[in-house]
Structures are given as C-alpha cells and as structure tokens.
C-alpha cells in the first residue's frame, strides 16, 4: 500500500479512529505525518531528477542562497508551517515598563514621572523607543528561534471600543496611557508595516460599534486560519486562553512558566518556546485551570476581571465558579438549573451543591446579579468574526533584511543584530 492509499484509508476510517480514542488534534497530527511522508518522497524524487543535471542544481542552490541571504523567511515545507500572532499591545507595554528608569518606576504621581521622561531611551531627535526596542528584539528572536512561516501583529488603538456600548465603565479603572508609551504605538506600527509585517488595528471612531481590540483581531485570525495552519498566540493576557483550540495554542509569557510546567509534569526544554513562556494546549489548559477554553468566558462572567473592570457576580470567586462550571459547563446551564425554583427548591439545590461541590450557598448572589453575569460574559467574549479581507499568503513572513536594517539604524536601535 502506497502513501496515497494510506491517506485515503485514514480519511475513510474516521469512525475507527474515534473508537481508538484519538483526539481530534491527534488525528490531525496523524494526517500531517502522512502528508509530511508524502512530501519527503516528492523531495527525494526531485533530488534524483536534479542529480541528472548538475548545472541546474547549481543554479537552483544559488537562487535559494541569494533569497535566504536577503530575506527573513523560512523553510516552505508545509509540515513546518506556523502562524505566529503577536499581541502587540501586550508586548509593547511590557517592554516599555520593563525599560523605564528607576526615577519613573518609583514615582508616585504622573507629574513626578514627567520630570524624568528625558531619561527614557530615545533617539537624538527625542523619539521614545524603549518599548519598540524591546518589542523588535523579542519578535526577531522568535522569528529566528521559533521559525514561524507566517506572522501578524495585533494592536489596540483606543479604549473606546464596541464594549463601551455594552458597559460604559469597561476598563474604567485603568489609568491614562503615558505619553511616551502612547507615541510608540504609532512608531511600532510604522516600522512593522515598512518591513512587511501585517498589522491589525482599528482606527478610532465615534462609531464604537466597529472599533475592536487587539485580541478581537487575534481571535478572528486564529479562527479564520487554524484549519489551514497551526496557530500560536503570543501574549501575557489570559483572556486569550478562550482561543485555545485543536490547532491553536497560546504562548503565555509569564514568570510562572517553570512552575506551570512542574504542575503539568513537563520539561520546557523539550519545547521550542520563547523565554519565560508556557504553551497552553486544550489538555494543558484543563490541567492548569480545570476548565475548557470556552469556559474561560463563563469563568470571567462569574468571577469578573478587575484588570478590565468586568464586574461578574460580586462576592463569587474561583471556589464557586470553577466547581459550578465543572458541573454545568456554561453560565446558561447554571441558570437553567435554578430558574423557576421556589425558595424550597433553591434550598434543596444549595444543599446538593454544598455536599457535592463543597461550595457555600451562592443563590442570592446568582439571582440578584444575573444581569451582570450575562453582561460580563459579553464583555469577556473575544470576537472571532471580524470581516477581514485577508488571505494566509498575505501573512507570509518575508522581511527584507536591508529594509529592516535601515529602520533599526533610523531609530538608533543598531545594537539589535540577532536576525
């Protein structure tokens, strides 16, 4: 039986694969393996043909060599393809705050900070670059080490997004963005677009309905292309965990990466990941959070999220939300279990929850905060259906190194040489 027959047999016997308890991800990897074997055979045959003509082989190798020297692109072998989606706002702000002078880091007021803005890394013309410098350093390192074949960067442009129409106080507790950081969003976008990296960002508008956040673009791209290519989402934002899927992982940048690996009994050295990064798959998310990806949304609907000022149900935290979701799966199903019950029925159910789940009676809070819970679920849900006129080929990594060098020199980031 040749490889074509084997592939057809695998396609025809999906039911048998399910009976063997293979997960969908494992089934995809099986087909990928078969595909890669087919690709290997084709390459072997191609090499044999080239051997018959040494001159043609020499010309081919010269073309490949010239291309690799000029461009930051990667092996086109389909089995090695990966789409890397970077949460640009997260990476930019993280590097901005990590590279601030001590006088600003420990300042107590914005006025005190402003006195030391001149100490922030900047060009001779006064263009702030500390966040962009760190961003470029990390992105180029990932291109070299993790070798994505496709790349996209998603950015926030404003806090006045469609979620403000749902809840006016969304992100209302956040402080204004500092001027040196705000200015670097525009600089980063300019550099990335100049070197050929696709940037996704909403233009600010009085019509909030069509203004989206970085994670909405990331979610849309992941869902749009995960059928065609493995997707990795690089971020520090745990909202992204709801996007984990059979062919989509979240590369979580966290100081807890090593401890998370210990919890899951895995060795990070065996994974090709950026520094201080833990990779969340569906299985590892269940081990760490005791939740499925889709339940991250319901979890925030109940427990809330102080960083985004999502209210949730006041007074209910992890010890209540996680056991309830493990039993009922969704917020909707939790409320189906209590809707229509009289006081006696609610007491009986509360007793069952206490005995079975070990939680105290949350009935009063669930009932009084029902509207907040469902509003919070809307706020926590990342959009995955933005209308984007984009193809996978548009995201192909193909950075001209000479243009990249020009941009790094222009903004006095000459010390970045690792690409």
φ and ψ at residue 343, rounded to 5 degrees: -55, -40
pLDDT at 204: 85
Of 30, 13, 386, the C-alpha closest to 215 is: 386
Reported confidence tier of residue 172, pLDDT bands at 50, 70, 90: confident
Over residues 166-186, mean pLDDT: 92
Tell me if 300 sits within 8 A of 310, measured CB to CB: yes
CA distance 308 to 310: 5
Token pair for residue 103? 């006088």
pTM: 0.81
DSSP E strand boundaries for 247-360 = 248-253, 277-280
Contacts of 2 (CB under 8 A, 6+ apart): none
Which tops the pLDDT comparison, 214 or 68?
214
pLDDT one-digit tens code per residue, 20-58: 445 554 544 445 444 444 444 444 444 444 444 444 445
What CA–CA distance (Å, rounded) separates 123 from 268?
Answer: 38
Backbone angles phi, psi at 121, to 5 degrees: -55, 125
Distance of CA 197 to the CA centre of its chain: 17
What pLDDT digit, counting tens, does each position of 76-92 carry? Answer: 455 689 999 999 999 99
Burial class (CB in 10 A: 0-12, 13-18, 19+), 14: exposed
pLDDT tens for 250-290 read 999 999 999 999 999 999 988 899 999 999 999 999 999 99
Smallest Cα–Cα separation from 188: which of 415, 414, 418, 413?
A: 413
Please report where in the chains the tokens 């950081």 appear, as a residue. Answer: 181
Burial class (CB in 10 A: 0-12, 13-18, 19+), 353: buried
């Amino acid at each position: 039986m040749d490889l074509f027959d084997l592939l057809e047999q695998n396609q025809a016997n999906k039911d048998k694969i399910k009976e063997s308890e293979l997960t969908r991800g494992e089934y995809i990897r099986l087909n990928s393996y078969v595909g890669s074997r087919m690709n290997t055979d084709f390459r072997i045959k191609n090499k044999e043909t080239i051997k018959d003509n040494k001159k043609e082989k020499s010309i081919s190798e010269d073309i490949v060599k010239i291309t690799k020297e000029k461009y930051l692109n990667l092996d086109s072998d389909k089995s090695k393809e990966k789409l890397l989606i970077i949460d640009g706002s997260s990476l930019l702000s993280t590097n901005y705050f990590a590279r601030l002078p001590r006088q600003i880091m420990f300042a107590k007021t914005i006025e005190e900070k402003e006195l030391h803005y001149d100490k922030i890394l900047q060009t001779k013309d006064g263009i702030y670059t500390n966040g962009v410098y760190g961003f470029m350093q990390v992105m180029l390192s990932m291109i070299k080490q993790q070798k994505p074949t496709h790349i996209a960067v998603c950015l926030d442009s404003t806090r006045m997004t469609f979620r403000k129409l749902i809840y006016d106080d969304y992100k209302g507790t956040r402080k204004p963005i500092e001027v040196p950081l705000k200015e670097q969003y525009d600089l980063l976008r300019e550099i990335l677009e100049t070197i050929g990296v696709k940037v996704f960002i909403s233009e600010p508008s009085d019509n909030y309905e069509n203004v989206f956040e970085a994670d909405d673009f990331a979610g849309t791209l992941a869902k749009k292309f995960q059928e065609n290519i493995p997707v990795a989402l690089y971020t520090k934002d745990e909202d992204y965990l709801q996007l984990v899927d059979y062919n989509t992982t979240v590369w979580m940048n966290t100081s807890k990466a090593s401890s998370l690996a210990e919890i899951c009994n895995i060795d990070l050295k065996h994974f090709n990941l950026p520094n201080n990064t833990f990779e969340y798959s569906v299985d590892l998310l269940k081990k760490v959070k005791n939740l499925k990806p889709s339940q991250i949304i319901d979890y925030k609907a109940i427990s809330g999220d102080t960083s985004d000022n999502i209210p949730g149900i006041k007074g209910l935290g992890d010890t209540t939300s996680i056991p309830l979701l493990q039993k009922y799966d969704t917020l909707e199903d939790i409320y189906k279990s209590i809707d229509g019950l009289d006081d006696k029925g609610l007491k009986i159910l509360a007793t069952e929850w206490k005995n079975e789940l070990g939680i105290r009676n949350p009935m009063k809070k669930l009932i009084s905060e029902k509207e907040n819970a469902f509003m919070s679920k809307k706020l926590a849900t990342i959009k995955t259906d933005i209308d984007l006129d984009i193809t996978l080929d548009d995201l192909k990594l193909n950075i001209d190194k000479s243009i990249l060098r020009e941009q790094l020199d222009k903004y006095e980031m000459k010390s970045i040489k690792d690409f």
